[in-house]
Every structure is written in structure tokens, then in C-alpha cells.
Amino acid sequence: MSSSVRERVRRYRKSMVAAGMRPMQLWVPDTRRAGFAEECRRQSRMLRDDPQERELLDFIEAATDTEDWE
């Protein structure tokens, strides 16, 4: 990283801290990884007939306001 980029990043981070923010790193699953889609299917199948899953999905549907969605 060149010093100008490094300095720009330093200034940006400093301004964010001054604004009351703090850095956070978030790791998410790599959807490109081999086996990812199959693992999603496996977990979905496990929940297919789960009454608690149905109850939660019904709640989310009832609580979601989609009136203005296009």
C-alpha cells in the first residue's frame, strides 16, 4: 500500500472514530466455496417439517410490511 493510500485510510479511520464509530470486521460464508449450495440444501431439508420453523416463518410473514414493495 502506498503511503498516500495509507495516509488516506488513516485519516478516514480517525474521522470515523471522531464521529463515534468503531471498526468492525465481519466474516461471512464464502458462497463460492465447493459444497456451499449442498450445505444450504441440507440445512433447509432439516427444517422442512419443523413446527418451530413454520411458526417463525408465519410470524415473519405477518410482521413484514410489503405494501409498498414493487
pLDDT in tens, 43-57: 999 999 999 999 999
Confidence at residue 7, expressed as pLDDT on a 0 to 100 scale: 94
Confidence at residue 53, expressed as pLDDT on a 0 to 100 scale: 95
Overall average pLDDT of the 16-35 stretch: 96
Residue pair 47/53 in contact (Cβ under 8 Å)? The answer is yes
HSE value, Cβ hemisphere, 13 Å, CA-based, for 15: 6
Confidence at residue 57, expressed as pLDDT on a 0 to 100 scale: 93
Domain assignments of the chain as residue spans, ordered by start? 28-65
Confidence at residue 1, expressed as pLDDT on a 0 to 100 scale: 63
Confidence at residue 68, expressed as pLDDT on a 0 to 100 scale: 85
